[in-house]
Structure formats: C-alpha cells, structure tokens
Amino acid sequence: MPADPGRRPPPRTPPRPDRIRRIAGGFAFVPNEFLHQGFFASLSHAERSLYFFLVLAGDRNGVSFYTHDRICDALELTLDDYVLVRNRLIDNDLIAFDGRRFQVLSLPPAPIASARRPLVTQDDFEEHDPATIRHLIRSSLDRRR
C-alpha cells in the first residue's frame, strides 16, 4: 500500500540527542544518494576511503590540495594503488583531478558499472572468487568440528 503523500513519517529521536552533529568550521557532507543509489556499493574499500578522505579535505566546492604523498600516508596506500584508486574515481565521474587539485563532483545520475578486474593474486581470489570463498569457509568450519 503506497504511503499517504500528505502524511509525515514519525519523528526519529536519536539515541544521543546531546550529541547531534552540527556543521561548524569545516564543510564536509555526503549526500544520502551516495548510499541509496548504489555508489557506496559500487566502490572498493580503498576507493571509498579515498573518496571520503577527499570529501573531508574539500572546501565548499569540494576542492582540496592534498599531495599524493600525504594521501598515501593517511590511507596507507602504495603509490601504485593510489593511482589506480584515483583513476577509478575519475572514471566513475565522482572526482576531478587537474594534476594539482582534486574536486569532489556532484553525483552522476547513477553509478558507472565497470568491468570486473581479473583475479590475479591469492588475495584477489580469497576476496572475490565465490568458489575460493566457499572453500575457505568450509575449511574453517571443518577445522572447528
């Protein structure tokens, strides 16, 4: 049954009303659509980390000037991983980079589906291959018996 368009949802009292967040000084926000329209799920852990780092570092226009060295240190990324992650966010139309400045962009209409990367390393298989994951789970459960 569809919701009544004139009816407001019940108020949601936060568990800690004394600790409600306020924008003070900085200006960082992530629109709800980032989660609800699938952008969050479309990114890897490292991609989300860089995206959120740039959101936090950006000014009102989403612009920040952090160098790759400081970003790699803060996020514990190798330079190669940083470049891959940065380029993937650019390809997904979430950020712009002119070689010196980053800009977190307004969200595109929908997440950009990308081709799956090939599984190469053992970690790739353990994290993304359903057959390997199933085997690891079963092996782990068998050891507990």
Residue 13 is assigned to a structural domain of this protein: no
Residue 12 is assigned to a structural domain of this protein: no
Residue 85 contacts residue 50 (beta carbons within 8 Å): yes
Instruction: Say which CATH number the domain at 80 has.
Output: 1.10.10.10
Residues 100 and 143 grouped into a single domain: no
Instruction: For residue 3, name the pLDDT band (cuts at 50, 70, 90).
Output: low
Query: Over the stretch 26-70, which tens digit does the pLDDT of each residue have?
Result: 778 888 999 999 999 999 999 999 999 999 999 889 999 999 999
Q: How many CB atoms lie within 10 A of CB 64?
A: 18
Q: Given a cut of 70, is residue 117 above it in pLDDT?
A: no
Residue 16 is assigned to a structural domain of this protein: no
Report how far apart the first and last C-alpha atoms of the chain are (Å, whole number). Answer: 48
Residue 9 is assigned to a structural domain of this protein: no
Residue 19 is assigned to a structural domain of this protein: no
Instruction: For residue 145, name the pLDDT band (cuts at 50, 70, 90).
Output: low
Total domain count, the chain: 2
Model confidence, pTM: 0.67
Residues 95 and 141 grouped into a single domain: no
Residues 106 and 130 grouped into a single domain: no
Average pLDDT of 67-77? 96
Q: How many CB atoms lie within 10 A of CB 135?
A: 13
Instruction: For residue 98, name the pLDDT band (cuts at 50, 70, 90).
Output: very high
Residues 87 and 105 grouped into a single domain: yes
Residue 99 is assigned to a structural domain of this protein: yes
Domain containing 72: what range?
A: 28-111
pLDDT of residue 11: 79
Angle, CA of 52, 31 and 44, to the nearest 5° = 40
Residue 4 is assigned to a structural domain of this protein: no
